[in-house]
Amino acid sequence: MPESKFPSLHTAIAESPEFNAMFLKKILYYLNPMNLFHRDENVGTSLRLMHGVNKISFLLFLICLAVMTVRWWMR
């Protein structure tokens, strides 16, 4: 099978320090409690509510991962 001139997405992500840094920066921005209730005046109500729900679901996901890890560790 001939090699494609486009790398796979996994290869592009794994070899891209810029992508990894951007991804980590976004996660740290979401985890920063100072940004939890930040209001952007240029954003509409619907978008602001959507971002709030996304932050809540992300925090619940991290809490669930922590609980599952502790339960696995205690077995």
Sorted by where each begins, the domain ranges of the chain are 9-74
Average pLDDT over residues 49-60: 85
What b-and-e string marks burial along 20-45, b requiring 16 or more CB atoms within 10 Å of the CB?
Answer: eeeeeeeeeeeeeeeeeeeeeeeeee
Q: Name, in order, each residue with C-beta under 8 angstroms of 51's C-beta and a sequence gap of 6 or more.
A: 43
Contact 39, 48 (CB under 8 A): yes
Average pLDDT over residues 5-32: 70
- pTM check: above 0.75: no
| pLDDT at position 68 over 90 | yes
